[in-house]
A and B are shown apart, each in its own frame.
Chain A
Amino acid sequence: MTNIADMSGTSGWGPVSPPDPDERPFAEPWERRAFAMTAFTMGRISGQNLDAFRYALARLDRSAYLDDGYYGRWLNAAELMLIESAILAPGAVDARARRNAGEDVVEPPAPEPARPDYAATAPGSLRRIDTPPAFVEGERVRALAVPPPGAGKLPGYVAGHPGVVDLVQPAHVLPDTHAVFRGENPQYVYTVRFASRELWGAASEEFSVTVELFESYLEKA
């Protein structure tokens, strides 16, 4: 995964914002509506799934990802899923917004829906698998040097680096295939601990970071 969503270690963002203990979940009224519509869109309306939603987010351009904040990117990912499932025509949302603002715009007709031919085998992401985990707690492993393309979720900053398995987590559906409706392919997930100076060099602050990695993202170190 190397795209706008993979922010780890990127620079130029400035200082972090100080926490406001009284912050409410939504800053603007439209964020509430965008939140709910996206939650309903990713499953029932578009026939897609949570991993497809994350993959839609990762495919947004920089402006669509950043300019309207978190719920802005949710809205844009929902629109992308709706267009890809042919629930909405490309441009339909903008055309309606312009008409609402009084512009003389022709709205595109609604297409024939083409939801993905896909059904989850169970709710959620956890699955039972019969094979034992390939790695055990305490084992040294290495993250693949080249992150899986597409919807895979190997953060770029750990790619190619060695670490140690801290915890073996239950099997989860594999986003690489689940996000594109090519099967759940559940795999064990491993909490792998990396040393900061292995990732960022000898001048880095000293700490460790754990990352959850699917079995196929790892090899023996």
Chain B
Amino acid sequence: MTERIPASLRTEALEQLLTERGLVDPAVMDTFIANYETNVGPLNGARVVARAWVDPEYRARLLADATPAIKEVAWGGGANGEHIVVVENTPEVHNVVVCTLCSCYPWPVLGLPPSWYKDPAYRARVVREPRTVLAEMGLELGEDVEIVVRDSSSEVRWLVLPERPAGTEGLSEEELTALVTRDAMVGVAKVSAP
């Protein structure tokens, strides 16, 4: 067995081969990548959450049929977002999202998945011992809180509507948007007041 070639060099080789054949255009790739580095990120999901916190009618629409409701306030199209379901975290019930079979994730509202979400330890363990895993990630839930793990095993994508933190009653929708984190929208954290 010859020595394994580093992924960086194999990536470079593949790009050369495809470019020489006219199958990819590096400039088109640049544009595609830039979109995912700048536009497609958790700010979209945060806008949705903040709107749901300030507008009860919007919240009801979002929980009933999330995909069109998301498009009212944020870009919600593209890959990995054809059918999104939103579930609400409450003091009694805590939802947390995983994809055990790959790393399926609601790209239009959260961007590309963070490393811990793609990590075998998270994928393997959160469906087996979620309370322990959440504690390792810094979220200690009371014993009386019911945990529901959402394993995204098809093209359905899950987004968590976190609890609005106490003490944020006076904040504007824009200020609330800035508080909402990616981790809270996956269900491995709560949103904190500023």
From residue A4, how far is it (CB to closest CB) to chain B in Å?
9
Contact check: which of A13, A25, A75 meets B7 at CB < 8 Å? A75
> At the interface with chain A, which of B12-20, B49-57, B68-76?
B12-20
* Chain A residues numbered 162-221 whose CB sits less than 8 Å from any CB in chain B: 167, 169-170, 172, 189, 191, 193, 200, 204-205, 207-214
Q: Are A97 and B130 closer than 8 Å at their CB atoms? A: no
Chain A residue nearest to B15 (CB atoms) is A33
Q: Are A155 and B156 closer than 8 Å at their CB atoms? A: no
Give the chain B neighbours of A149 by CB distance below 8 A. none
- A121 at the binding interface (Cβ < 8 Å): no
Number of interface residues of A (CB under 8 A): 85
Instruction: Please tell me the size bucket of the interface on B.
Output: 35 or more
- A98 at the binding interface (Cβ < 8 Å): yes
Contact surface of B with A, Cβ cutoff 8 Å: 4-18, 21, 23-24, 29, 32-33, 36-37, 41, 79, 82-83, 85, 100-103, 111-116, 118-133, 136-138, 146-156, 181-183, 188-189
Known: A29-B8, A66-B120, A208-B148. 17 other contacts (CB 8 A): A7-B123, A7-B124, A9-B124, A13-B121, A21-B182, A33-B12, A33-B33, A36-B29, A67-B4, A69-B118, A78-B14, A93-B14, A97-B5, A125-B155, A153-B154, A169-B154, A172-B155
Contact surface of A with B, Cβ cutoff 8 Å: 1, 5-11, 13-21, 23-30, 32-37, 39-41, 45, 54, 57-58, 63, 66-72, 75, 78-79, 87-88, 92-94, 96-98, 100-101, 110, 124-126, 153-155, 157, 167, 169-170, 172, 189, 191, 193, 200, 204-205, 207-214
